[in-house]
Amino acid sequence: MQIDVLSLFPNMFEPLRESMIGKALERHLLNFDVVDYRSYSHDKHHHVDDTPYGGGAGMLLKPEPLFEAMDGVNQRHPGPKRVILMDPAGKKFDQQAARELSQESHLVFICGHYEGYDERIRTLVTDEYSLGDYVLTGGELPAMVMIDAIVRLLPGVLGNDESAHTDSFENGLLEYPQYTRPPEYRGMQVPEVLQNGNHQLIARWRLKESLRRTYLRRPDLLEQVELDDAAKKLLREVKTEEATKAAERRLNASTRNAEDPEQN
């Protein structure tokens, strides 16, 4: 995969060359270039922004530097590419989008700054993405998050490709709890089922705890995922267990209040 980033702050992307992405570069699974589009500005002061027509607060990125930076990318790497604009108005980036984009051979990220873009810049773009309903000072941090999420899905990047398939959101659910040695630490025990070597029981426990974590933390995800009959049965068990726990907590709280009238 080839990834190009158009940014006014190319040094911000140096940390991406560490860890898994650094290994992907070493193994030639990824080519990664950052272009400072300020070098394509047209005046001696290297301005890349100007005031908006019609007035208004802030400054807008001018079209010339970004168009010419894209010309340079196209000259170096001819062929089709997905050009991604980081913008608060874009669609929300998620794991499904990461999987889709990881199948592409060439991605280009345009990182804006200032108040916004000259609208003509959007004609360069195939996709617009946002990380969420908030505004950052520039597109660099969102681009780095997206690149990390995408590159880790490339075959051979992770030490064990199976790791990517068990991540949260890969099957529409949050990931189950995980443990390693020692089996007991400060009174906290690793669940017995994970230590008995019965892979069928382990798989059942993992699915049930994945459903439990999703039900408690992100119940909205359960509305979007299709569960088979076995998973539906486990989810019913989870709901019953959690309702029982909640009732016990309420009972214990009322008992404590009754025993300590000063709290009433």
Three-state SS at 250: helix
- The reply to whether 79 sits in an annotated binding site is no
Residues in the chain: 264
Catalytic residue among 33, 68, 104, 167: 167
Average per-residue pLDDT for the chain: 91
- The reply to whether 135 sits in an annotated binding site is yes
pLDDT for position 262: 66
pLDDT for position 158: 83
Q: Quick check: is 256 catalytic?
A: no
Burial of 206 (0-12, 13-18, 19+ CB in 10 A): middle
Catalytic residue among 88, 100, 104, 148: 88
Between 38 and 171, name the one with better pLDDT.
38
- C-alpha to C-alpha distance for 102 and 92, rounded to whole angstroms: 16
Q: Quick check: is 152 catalytic?
A: yes
Catalytic residue among 68, 115, 118, 170: 115
- C-alpha to C-alpha distance for 228 and 55, rounded to whole angstroms: 57
Q: Which of 42-56, 112-126, 224-238 has the highest mean pLDDT?
A: 224-238
- The reply to whether 136 sits in an annotated binding site is yes
- The reply to whether 176 sits in an annotated binding site is no
- The reply to whether 53 sits in an annotated binding site is no
Q: Quick check: is 219 catalytic?
A: no
CA distance between the termini of the chain: 65
Task: Read off the pLDDT band of 115 (50, 70, 90).
Answer: confident
Q: Quick check: is 250 catalytic?
A: no
- The reply to whether 132 sits in an annotated binding site is yes
Between 82 and 135, name the one with better pLDDT.
82
- C-alpha to C-alpha distance for 27 and 181, rounded to whole angstroms: 31
- C-alpha to C-alpha distance for 237 and 184, rounded to whole angstroms: 27
- C-alpha to C-alpha distance for 64 and 29, rounded to whole angstroms: 32
pLDDT tens per residue across span 129-183: 999 998 898 999 999 999 999 999 999 998 665 555 555 566 889 999 999 999 9
